[in-house]
């Protein structure tokens, strides 16, 4: 639905999985969208359908470098999100979160824009409290393989809150839990895309560890609705706020769901568990319910069906 007052909105990481859905959502609301990406993990395919829209602009840029543009709102999503990608060049991952946040906050400060940070459930590390509430300060290894991502995102949260306290800026922090859906990269390495691609190609489903670890998966449309509500919430509400689906499942259960829904005969290939792999993760979304009136609407089966259809189409397109 079109909004009355259209805004100029910058989406960093706009050619990625979540960013591409957000750009489409903002355009549908009548906003001018400036999509920024360095195409590290994002791809043009995700935004191909948007390129002809008159209100859409694409800028190739790396947010670790300063950026001078005039906008009203910023969604800061730029950062590789899959462990395979963020561990490929860990120094760049930390720079993207930390230098990137400083640059985008500096920009927001100069143009007086509201700015939303895509933070993560990884700020909780391997949690000792279950489910995770925003008040839990986390259990993070500062020197492990996941630290470039976890600590980078934690530092970005620090910067957001300090820019708010020091400069009175309008900031919003969303702690996103595992999200899936169309436009995930097929070779992204994340569990939902891996399992679906393996099932569709008749390859064994790779389960890391014994498959008893849990995650809680949120369908992308629900997440984007959460972003929208958070950006529109009163200035006093900064978060951090958990955005995720509280329905928890084990990786064994996920593998069974994917094989059933794809009709695949793939077996299971158990591989060693990666280091620092969190054993359990489930959001407590009481705050999002109360402050944003938000909760996920799309059940796992419906979301997986849409995602499987997307990957099928991608394979057929070659």
Q: Which residues in this chain contact ligand NAD in the complex, by CB under 6 A? A: 12-13, 15-19, 37-42, 62-64, 77-81, 96, 100, 118, 120, 176, 178-179
Which C-beta is closer to ligand NAD: that of 242 or that of 266? 242
Which C-beta is closer to ligand UDP: that of 215 or that of 282? 215
* Cβ pair 243, 295 in contact under 8 A: no
148 binds, among ligand UDP, ligand NAD, none (CB under 5 to 8 A by kind): none
Closest C-alpha to 65, from 113, 116, 104, 110: 104
Alpha-carbon span 67 to 51, nearest angstrom: 22
Which C-beta is closer to ligand NAD: that of 32 or that of 37? 37
* Cβ pair 239, 164 in contact under 8 A: no
Which C-beta is closer to ligand NAD: that of 64 or that of 233? 64
Strand partners, 20: none
149 catalytic? Reply is yes
Q: How far is the CB of 106 from ligand UDP (least distance, A)?
A: 2
Q: How far is the CB of 217 from ligand UDP (least distance, A)?
A: 9
216 binds, among ligand UDP, ligand NAD, none (CB under 5 to 8 A by kind): none
The burial of 309, by beta-carbon neighbours within 10 Å (0-12 exposed, 13-18 middle, 19 or more buried), is given as exposed
217 binds, among ligand UDP, ligand NAD, none (CB under 5 to 8 A by kind): none
Q: What are phi and psi of 74, to 5 degrees?
A: -130, 130
277 binds, among ligand NAD, ligand UDP, none (CB under 5 to 8 A by kind): ligand UDP
In the DSSP assignment, the letter for residue 207 is E
SS3 278: coil
Q: How far is the CB of 74 from ligand NAD (least distance, A)?
A: 13
The alpha carbon of residue 235 and the mean position of all alpha carbons in its chain are separated, in whole angstroms, by: 23
Strand partners, 283: 132
244 binds, among ligand UDP, ligand NAD, none (CB under 5 to 8 A by kind): none
Q: How far is the CB of 159 from ligand UDP (least distance, A)?
A: 9
The alpha carbon of residue 126 and the mean position of all alpha carbons in its chain are separated, in whole angstroms, by: 18
Q: How far is the CB of 191 from ligand UDP (least distance, A)?
A: 4
Give the number of residues written for the chain. 318
SS3 43: coil
Which C-beta is closer to ligand UDP: that of 28 or that of 279? 279
CA dihedral angle for residue 155, residue 41, residue 209, residue 219, rounded to 10 degrees: 90
Alpha-carbon span 40 to 92, nearest angstrom: 11
41 binds, among ligand UDP, ligand NAD, none (CB under 5 to 8 A by kind): ligand NAD
Q: How far is the CB of 28 from ligand UDP (least distance, A)?
A: 28
Binding residues (CB under 6 A) for ligand UDP: these are 66-68, 82-83, 102-103, 106-107, 109-110, 178, 190-191, 194, 206-208, 213, 215, 251, 274, 277
Sign of CA dihedral 157, 158, 161, 166: negative
Structure tokens that stand for 253 in this block: 């259960």
Using CB positions, name the residue nearest to ligand UDP.
106
Which C-beta is closer to ligand NAD: that of 32 or that of 157? 157
In whole angstroms, how far apart are CA 224 and each of 52, 99, 131, 207, 301?
22, 25, 22, 29, 19
The catalytic residue among 40, 86, 149, 180 is 149
Q: Which residues are catalytic?
A: 149
């Amino acid at each position: 639905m079109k909004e009355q007052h259209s805004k100029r909105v910058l989406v960093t990481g706009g050619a990625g999985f979540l960013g591409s859905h957000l750009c489409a959502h903002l355009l549908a609301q009548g906003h001018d969208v400036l999509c920024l990406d360095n195409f590290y993990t994002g791809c043009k395919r995700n935004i191909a359908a948007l390129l002809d829209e008159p209100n859409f602009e694409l800028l190739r840029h790396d947010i670790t470098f300063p950026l001078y543009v005039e906008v009203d709102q910023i969604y800061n999503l730029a950062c590789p999100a899959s462990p395979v990608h963020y561990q490929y060049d860990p120094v760049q991952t930390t720079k993207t979160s930390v230098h990137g946040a400083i640059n985008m906050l500096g920009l927001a400060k100069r143009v007086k824009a509201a700015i939303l940070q895509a933070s993560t459930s990884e700020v909780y590390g391997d949690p000792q409290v279950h489910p995770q509430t925003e008040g839990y300060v986390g259990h993070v290894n500062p020197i492990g393989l996941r630290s470039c991502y976890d600590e980078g995102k934690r530092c970005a949260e620090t910067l957001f809150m300090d820019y708010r306290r020091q400069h009175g800026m309008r900031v919003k922090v969303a702690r996103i839990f595992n999200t899936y859906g169309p436009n995930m990269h097929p070779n992204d390495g994340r569990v939902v895309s891996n399992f679906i691609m393996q099932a569709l190609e008749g390859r064994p489903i790779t389960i890391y560890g014994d498959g008893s670890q849990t995650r809680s998966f949120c369908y992308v449309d629900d997440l984007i609705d959460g972003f929208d509500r958070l950006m529109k919430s009163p200035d006093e509400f900064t978060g951090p706020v958990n955005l995720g689906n509280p329905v928890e499942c084990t990786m064994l259960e996920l593998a069974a769901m994917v094989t059933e829904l794809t009709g695949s005969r793939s077996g299971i290939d158990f591989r060693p568990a990666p280091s620092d792999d969190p054993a359990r993760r489930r959001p407590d979304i009481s705050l999002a319910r109360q402050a944003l009136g938000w909760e996920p609407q799309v059940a796992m089966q419906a979301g997986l069906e849409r995602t499987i259809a997307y990957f099928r189409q991608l394979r057929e397109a070659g």
